[in-house]
Structure 1
Amino acid sequence: MDDDLKNTQGSLTLAEAEIFDDSLLAKNSERSNKTIGLIKVKARKACKETSLFLLSNIGSISMVVCYSIMGGFLFQAIERPYEIRTRTFVSDIRKGYIQRLWRANMDYNIFHRENWTNEADAILRTFQTEIFAVVRDKGWDGIDESAMEKEKWSFTGSLLFSVSIITTIGYGYITPKTDEGRVVTMLYAVIGIPLMLLCVTNIGSILATCVRALYGRTLCISCRQNVVLFFKRKFGHTNESINRMELIAKYNRNEVVTNAHSVSTRTECAAVMHELNTTEHHHRTEEVRVPIVVSLILMIWYVIFGAIMFSIWEKDWDMLIGAYFCFTTLSTIGFGDFVPGHQNEDWNDHAKQVSCALYVLLGMSLVAMCFELIQNECRMFAKRLGQFVGLIKPISPK
């Protein structure tokens, strides 16, 4: 009986242990499932926040800047070794032909002009043919290997090349010579061009909004006339209206003193300004129309600014060439006949190439802004023309 009792107690203990283990495993499994669920929720939230940031204005600008810098390092790593090998190859060719000329001097009597001239002419013709083949096939730029500070594929040169790709300018004076570089260029453009268009569109919209707000509060004649009409209608042609307008001007300049009397004046001014801003005669920012002339003046000013800057940097450029380069660049024509630092061999300041890249990026945004303002004016003109000829029915005021 005692043995049976002990066996029964032992079997019960094992069963309880198995039940405890199963409950512990269930708890652990439930806890791990909760942990995995929390991780999924946090990952989903992080992906959503990251996507919203990348699609925002700051995010798109940051992506374009990082993408351009990445392209600078990438193209430098691919094309720079090939450029160095090409320069070394040309240097070896030149040294070999120097030795051939020296042997010709040793083999022929230099006083026998005809024989020496024929041999030297044959050597130089062969040298000319080989150099032409190197320039045609390998893209040699005529710079010796000793001038490594004038590399085309330095980081700043590669950065300018990457910017010319994503902005679709494509100067053409520097192009990839390796198969890897050409494949990377195509892939880089497929991703970079839409990214650049998104960034330029966002920045152009922001700048257009700022210009509308600035123009509406400073230069818009209709807004200024509506303000005057508001005060005439509100206060009439009395000294009181003049005093109130002067007080409001002081209120805007924060010149009202803080005493008991001016507190009520400040409150009154604030109330009048609030009523003025909410009156039907005051335009909202999105309703302000900027004339096409203003947009053209902004573009012309930016081209003139770039022309002055590049004509100072480049010794061989005048204002006309600088303006020509800026216009062909900002319009994405990009002939490549004039490129900063390409004609001038003394330009070793890499900061100027970076400044050129920034000028292009900002200029593309400015052009997008001006195109948006001009497009808005053209849309309004087409709408008025359609109403005039009867194609569009005018909206009657409520």
Structure 2
Amino acid sequence: MSENRGHHHRSMSMRDRDHHHVIHHHRDPRLRRGYLPPAGPDPDSWFYKLKEFARKLIAFLFGHVGICGLVVGYIIMGAFAFMAIESEDQKRQYEDVVRVREATIQNLWNITHQLNVLYPSEWNESVSIQVQLFQQKIVQFVMEGYDGKNYVNQTRSQQNGATDAGGGDAATTGAWSFSASFLYCLTVITTIGK
């Protein structure tokens, strides 16, 4: 009898499941006759194509290749930014040094011309004052970041009658060439976060 009860219990349970399954099939609109599924997006529409393009673009950009491309692009933009920001200041410094140098040379010439070198002690004293003023100005320029490389490069290129590899003169290119700016930006990015 206990076996019958268990079997009856199982069959009741199966019957309940079948009844439950039938009820849900009648409620599901996909199982009714004449049912047409709702139309999905048209794969030929411009909106669908744009959506797929955006999805693929985002998936690519956040993949390994995309991230590497973004980092390289960021470094290139940073290099151009450093060149734009720093080259103007460097050019101004170079022009200031040239102006002071030329003024010192002119002052020395005037002293030599006025004293006619017949009075060596007066000439030495006047030239010494001019050289000290020039030294003070050079120290000030060095404190502001001038390194003297531009002037050396400029005089060498004038002696050789050539320009630098970038096509400009040394005064305008200076230390912030594209390769130097790129390397600096790469160094900044790789040291962040440590």
Gapped regions of structure 1 (runs ≥ 5): 1-33, 169-192, 195-331, 333-398
- Displacement, 1:66? 1.8
2:99 match: 92
CA distance in 2, matches of 1:109, 1:87: 32
- Specify the alignment match of 1:73 in structure 2: 80
Aligned residue for 2:147, secondary structure, equals coil
Amino acid at match of 2:180: G
| Aligned mates of 1:73, 1:92 — CA distance in 2 | 28
Question: In 2, Cα distance between the equivalents of 1:107 and 1:159?
Answer: 52
Paired residue for 1:153, among 176, 182, 185? 176
Following the alignment from structure 1 to structure 2, what is the Cα–Cα distance between the partners of residues 129 and 43? 65
Q: Secondary structure at the match of 1:110?
A: coil
**1:140 aligned partner:** 146
**2:56 paired residue number:** 49
Deviation string, structure 1 residues 156-179 (Cα, Å, up to 9, x no partner): 1111111122112xxxxxxxxxxx
SS in 1 for 2:146: coil
Quote the residue 2:189 is aligned against. 166
Rounded Cα–Cα distance in structure 2 between residues aligned with 1:73 and 1:119: 46
Residue identity opposite 2:107 in structure 1 = R
- The letter for the 2-side match of 1:157 is A
> How far is the alpha carbon of 1:94 from its aligned partner?
0.3
Residues 200-259 of structure 1, C-alpha deviation per residue, up to 9 Å, x if partnerless? xxxxxxxxxxxxxxxxxxxxxxxxxxxxxxxxxxxxxxxxxxxxxxxxxxxxxxxxxxxx
Q: Does 1:110 align with 2:133?
A: no
Deviation at 1:125, TM superposition (A): 0.8
Question: 1:73: how far off?
Answer: 2.1
Shift of the alpha carbon at 1:41?
A: 4.2
| Paired AA for residue 124 in structure 2 | T
SS in 2 for 1:167: helix
**Deviation for aligned residue 1:109:** 4.1
Alpha-carbon distance in 1 for matches of 2:53, 2:89: 42
Structure 1 position 74, deviation (Å): 2.3
For the pair shown, the structure with the greater C-alpha radius of gyration is 2
Matches within 5 A, 1:208-227: none
RCO comparison, higher one (Cα < 8 Å, 6+): 2
Aligned-residue CA RMSD in angstroms? 2.6
Identity of aligned residues (%): 30
By how many angstroms is 1:46 displaced? 2.7
Q: How many residues align?
A: 135
Shift of 1:40: 4.8
Whichever residue aligns with residue 188 of structure 2, its letter is: I
Deviation at 1:88, TM superposition (A): 2.0
Offset from partner CA, 1:288-336 (integer Å, 9 cap, x none)? xxxxxxxxxxxxxxxxxxxxxxxxxxxxxxxxxxxxxxxxxxxx8xxxx
**Structure 2 match to 1:236:** none
- Could you tell me which residue of structure 2 aligns to residue 126 of structure 1? 133
Correspondences of 1:199-348 after superposition (within 5 Å): none
1:58 is displaced (CA, Å) by 1.2
Gaps of 5+ in 2: 1-40, 158-168
Give the Å deviation of 1:84: 2.1
Q: Which amino acid in 1 is paired with 2:186?
A: V
